[in-house]
Chain A
Amino acid sequence: MAVVRCKGTTFKVTIATVLTPLAQIISMDFGPIKMETVECDTLDNASPGIPKMNTGRVDGGKVSGELYFDPALAGHVSYVGLVEAPPTTTIACAIVFANSPASTMSYNAVGFSFSGTIGLKDGLKGKFDMEISGLPTFSMVS
Chain B
Amino acid sequence: MKAKLLRTEQRPPQNKDEQCHFNRTGTLPTVPAGTVIDHPAAWQLVRMGMAEPADDECCDRADMTPERMAAAQKAQEKVRLGIHPDDFQAFDAKLLKGYQEDGTWIPGEETDYVRLFNEGVINKATYKNAQDNLPLPEGYEYDDDESEG
Chain A interfacial positions (CB closer than 8 Å to B)? 5-10, 12, 14-24, 26, 68, 73-75, 77-78, 92, 94, 96, 98-104, 106, 137, 139-141
Q: Is the interface of B mostly helix, strand, loop or mixed?
A: mixed
Chain A residue at minimum C-beta to C-beta distance from B98 = A8
Give the Cβ gap from A52 to chain B, nearest Cβ, in Å.
31
| Other A-B pairs beyond A6-B103, A8-B83, A14-B11, 8, CB < 8 Å | A10-B82, A15-B44, A16-B37, A16-B44, A18-B45, A21-B80, A26-B84, A96-B10
Task: Report whether A18 and B11 are in contact in the complex, using a CB–CB cutoff of 8 Å.
Answer: yes
Chain A residues within 8 Å of B99, by CB: 5, 7-8, 98
Contacts A68-B85, A106-B13 given; indicate if A141 touches B31 (C-beta within 8 A). Answer: no
Return the CB mask of B2-44 against A: 1 if under 8 Å, else 0: 0101000111110000010011011110010000010111101
Return the CB mask of B32-75 against A: 1 if under 8 Å, else 0: 00000101111011011110000000000000000000001001
A10 and B39 CA atoms in complex are apart in Å by 24
A5 and B23 CA atoms in complex are apart in Å by 22
Task: Report whether B85 and A24 are in contact in the complex, using a CB–CB cutoff of 8 Å.
Answer: yes
Task: Report whether B13 and A16 are in contact in the complex, using a CB–CB cutoff of 8 Å.
Answer: no
A103 and B81 CA atoms in complex are apart in Å by 15
Chain A residues within 8 Å of B42, by CB: 16
Chain B residue at minimum C-beta to C-beta distance from A93 = B12
B101 sits at the interface (CB 8 A): yes
Task: Report whether B28 and A94 are in contact in the complex, using a CB–CB cutoff of 8 Å.
Answer: yes
Chain B residue at minimum C-beta to C-beta distance from A22 = B79
Give the Cβ gap from A132 to chain B, nearest Cβ, in Å.
14
Task: Report whether B85 and A74 are in contact in the complex, using a CB–CB cutoff of 8 Å.
Answer: no
Instruction: Report, nearest first, the 6 A-B pairs whose CB atoms are least far apart.
Output: A139-B26, A92-B12, A74-B47, A141-B26, A8-B82, A5-B103
